[in-house]
Structure 1
């Protein structure tokens, strides 16, 4: 249910109290069967892309067509009381793989109320991914909104096409830096082009400027570049030890989980454990080839979408592990992380494309269905099976 601003204040207060209610009933097979968690559908959304939780337990969710929603979750239940669109969101070009993409709270959100988010836009030269920042505000008259929205960074160059924008955001554990992914836009060569930000992991200041000390700048790279040779980077997260992990879609095969290190070349399109879609071979990663190899890879693909490293109390046996949403695989994937090493864990079939994975305040795992190719676009809550 999407509410007008006049109905917002009372529901917001109820959501922060002890309101309770039944979970949304959904037809079809129980996808909890045989899994170590119970799956509860909580809301129906319209092609959601990413989510993050506010300190009070409500959530911000982005949708493909350019909406950002405030999702009011009744405390202590599996029920969404209401969703409200936020005002102030820039115009998005959502053709193809374009979308309003990631949304992440600033490290000091409790005092600053700043929200960082990304999306695809059209501009001079074609299209590209943009990083913005706005200040979260709400009142009973105007409802929720982002104020003082500022463009902090846009990928270079803008090119024609609608694919491989990436646009994932992660803050360094010390809160001083912002890491941002730029896909290679299905153009291959930009991933190795030192002047382009495409096909790269970038390290920026909180204002979107190149961070001082990025080691590749001295080698003639764009000053924002931290690592390069990437394809479509749809997940980015730090673990508790400060290691930066990234997952990306390979071509025909070769989806990857990478430990991101500065000044490293991850090889695409010169090497990949997959092949071109037309069947042409791409050399595999090999020791001594000069490229940083993935820690884990899949062939056939899982089509990874979204990455979360679990730190909650509800599933203590999984603390420190990575969770990945699977699109074409319609799965939730767990990867065992051990220091700077990784290996495949579980892969649970979910019956729908999973776009994003997020940890809730109580340690529950939340999933967003993609809403495309037959998946429902639902918000799901995973809790320990009884």
Structure 2
């Protein structure tokens, strides 16, 4: 196993200082915790991991790597690999993306599962876009699996140049009826406001990939009939809270990362407004100047550069229950945010050694993390449990 510290000592002073940044919307507060809130165990290492998902029936963990590999980790620590992965357009922010299991698969035998995955797909003329596929994950042994009957059920439209802002996070609604997909604006700005494209949108589909009945623009031709909300920049997190409400977590430009309560038909303002500015210093009107547009529950300036987030529902960290636990790429570690109605407040930050890309709650309530990056000192799979 990898030589690494198994305990991260977080002093009250360090946590307090880490929580005192500026927020344009929402509030930030110094941590009220004392002592070390968790211990960190290193379990494995991966090459540029991007997403992970637990199989509900067996606890097997699936991890995607950006270059185009899917790996498995069994509950007893064995590592396997999945064959049949589609070819990905690797580079920049592109490559293999998210992976989720279709809901309701609870058998204790890990032999066949219906799964969904996303990836960056090459197009013609140096263009590319995100794709989402549905497949059967068929296993001859717990560490020997293959994707079979893979079918693309959704694509970003149109494909464009560049290798940024795919987003391509996937989440099922709590009732299992709808598949939500985060579709970034691909660093092209204006498509986020164009209802004739599905870039810069959250889309809502049926499990087979067809637009869901009751969508805000269901009477319009494709891809408009897919759209659930619009005016998004680069969404890297989607999660449902205990009330069944959908939230997204997205990158701003130079400032202005946002946590948003996502509502049907709402316009979240990009690129018309932001709580950050353009990278070249040109100002962008603030969200508050357009009360007709959806306002973030909280925004960060300076940025935290979020990876993904969960709403914690376990019992190991009772003080964190129903709060958003957010991974940070620039704010290397975790950011804990409480929810009050439709607003949010930062409660604490927990520094870690490296950029954190992904977070999931384990079957026992432990928090599992994936570090970002490649090489011998990154890409670790971490498990957090209470200190003491």
Q: Mark yes or no: TM-score above 0.5.
A: yes
Name the structure 1 match of 2:204: 203
Identify if the C-alpha distance between structure 1 residues 124 and 213 changes in structure 2 by more than 3 Å, giving closer, same or farther.
farther
Q: Flag the structure with more relative contact order, 1 or 2, with Cα contacts below 8 A and sequence separation at least 6.
A: 2
Three-state SS of the structure 1 residue aligned to 2:225 is: coil
1:208-227 paired onto structure 2 within 5 Å: 208-218=209-219, 222-227=224-229
Measure the CA separation in 2 of the matches of 1:115 and 1:129: 17
CA displacement, residues 310-365 of structure 1 (integer Å, 9 cap, x when unaligned)? 11111111111111110122121111123433211211111211001100000000
Moved more, 366-375 or 50-59: 366-375
Moved more, 115-124 or 362-371: 115-124
Measure the CA separation in 2 of the matches of 1:375 and 1:286: 42
Measure the CA separation in 2 of the matches of 1:169 and 1:135: 17
CA displacement, residues 190-230 of structure 1 (integer Å, 9 cap, x when unaligned)? 10111110000000010111111111345777110000000
Measure the CA separation in 2 of the matches of 1:179 and 1:108: 17
Name the structure 2 match of 1:149: 150
1:286 deviates by 1.2
1:380 paired to 2:357: no
Moved more, 210-219 or 65-74: 210-219
* Contact 2:46–2:374, Cα closer than 8 Å, also in 1: no
Name the structure 2 match of 1:273: 275
1:43 deviates by 0.6
Measure the CA separation in 2 of the matches of 1:320 and 1:117: 27
CA displacement, residues 250-286 of structure 1 (integer Å, 9 cap, x when unaligned)? 0000000000001100000000000000000000011
Identify if the C-alpha distance between structure 1 residues 44 and 142 changes in structure 2 by more than 3 Å, giving closer, same or farther.
closer
Name the structure 2 match of 1:173: 174
1:350-365 paired onto structure 2 within 5 Å: 350-365=352-367
Name the structure 2 match of 1:119: 119
Three-state SS of the structure 1 residue aligned to 2:244 is: coil
Three-state SS of the structure 1 residue aligned to 2:106 is: helix
1:98 paired to 2:100: no
Show structure 1 runs of 5+ residues with no match. Answer: 1-23, 75-79
Three-state SS of the structure 2 residue aligned to 1:223 is: helix
Name the structure 2 match of 1:31: 8
1:43 paired to 2:44: yes
* Contact 2:74–2:142, Cα closer than 8 Å, also in 1: no
CA displacement, residues 63-89 of structure 1 (integer Å, 9 cap, x when unaligned)? 110111111232xxxxx3x21110111
Measure the CA separation in 2 of the matches of 1:182 and 1:230: 8
CA displacement, residues 105-160 of structure 1 (integer Å, 9 cap, x when unaligned)? 11122367211111111013510001111112111499211221111101100000
Q: What is the aligned-residue RMSD (CA, Å)?
A: 1.9
Measure the CA separation in 1 of the matches of 2:50 and 2:143: 25
* Contact 1:243–1:340, Cα closer than 8 Å, also in 2: no
1:239 paired to 2:241: yes
Task: Tell me the TM-score normalized by structure 2.
Answer: 0.88
